[in-house]
């Protein structure tokens, strides 16, 4: 689901494709993921409340942890290092023996919210020399990678995150072009 200013509904399909492609590259599937497109003021409030940093940022990700019956699902800010259990990707390994086969478990569904500043999208697109659609797509990919357990606190993690962003951006060319109304 995408929410934000009027006229942004056309972005739902392309952004859904980008979310699915990002999670597929991570070996995960989408559960319920909401994308809120807003402004610097809203991101500043969230950044201050959740991270203690009193300035706007471009994207904040909130993963929703699985809870038992009757328990409240609480958001977990995913922009910082995660503990090994919640940040680990689950991969199933199929094994065949003479008598039985073990089927790989389905990939874990990823649930959460992304909140993105359209003010940062515009400014960063100009600074990086890309279209606003490409920058929005990169921020969605970046946020989804956080939801899937990726982080970028160390230099090696930052390089890995950027490489993953670039790979998904290349794979999602049609969706990125659909975001930019004047693109060829």
Q: Which residue has the higher pLDDT, 80 or 174?
A: 174
Interior CA angle at 32 toward 30 and 37, to 5°?
A: 105
Find out whether 39 and 5 touch, Cβ atoms under 8 Å.
Answer: no
138: number of Cβ within 10 Å: 24
Predicted confidence band of residue 53 (pLDDT cuts 50, 70, 90): very high
Q: Which residue has the higher pLDDT, 88 or 177?
A: 177
Burial class (CB in 10 A: 0-12, 13-18, 19+), 144: buried
Of the candidates 59, 157, 153, 173, which has an alpha carbon nearest to the alpha carbon of residue 112? Answer: 59
Q: What is the DSSP letter of 83?
A: P
In this prediction the pTM is 0.76
Mean pLDDT over 134-154 rounds to 93
Predicted confidence at residue 71, as pLDDT, reads 42
pLDDT greater than 70 at residue 173: yes
Integer Cα distance of 120 and 163 in angstroms? 21
Predicted confidence at residue 163, as pLDDT, reads 94
Tell me the pLDDT tens digit for each residue of 59-118.
Answer: 999 988 644 334 444 455 555 332 222 332 222 333 333 344 455 555 678 999 999 999
Predicted confidence band of residue 14 (pLDDT cuts 50, 70, 90): very high
Integer Cα distance of 165 and 42 in angstroms? 25
Find out whether 87 and 76 touch, Cβ atoms under 8 Å.
Answer: no
């Amino acid at each position: 689901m995408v929410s934000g200013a009027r006229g942004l509904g056309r972005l739902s399909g392309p952004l859904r494709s980008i979310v699915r492609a990002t999670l597929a590259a991570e070996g995960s599937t989408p559960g319920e993921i909401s994308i809120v497109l807003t402004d610097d003021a809203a991101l500043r409030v969230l950044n201050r409340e959740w991270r203690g940093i009193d300035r706007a940022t471009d994207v904040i990700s909130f993963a929703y942890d699985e809870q038992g019956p009757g328990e409240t699902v609480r958001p977990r800010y995913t922009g910082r290092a995660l503990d090994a259990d919640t940040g680990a990707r689950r991969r199933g390994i199929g094994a065949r023996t003479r008598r039985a086969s073990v089927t790989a478990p389905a990939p874990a569904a990823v649930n959460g919210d992304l909140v993105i500043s359209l003010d940062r999208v515009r400014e960063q697109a100009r600074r990086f020399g890309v279209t606003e659609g490409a920058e929005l797509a990169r921020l969605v990919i970046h946020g989804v990678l956080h939801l899937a357990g990726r982080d970028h606190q160390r230099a090696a993690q930052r390089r890995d995150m950027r490489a993953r962003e670039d790979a998904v951006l290349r794979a999602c060319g049609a969706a990125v072009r659909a975001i930019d109304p004047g693109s060829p």
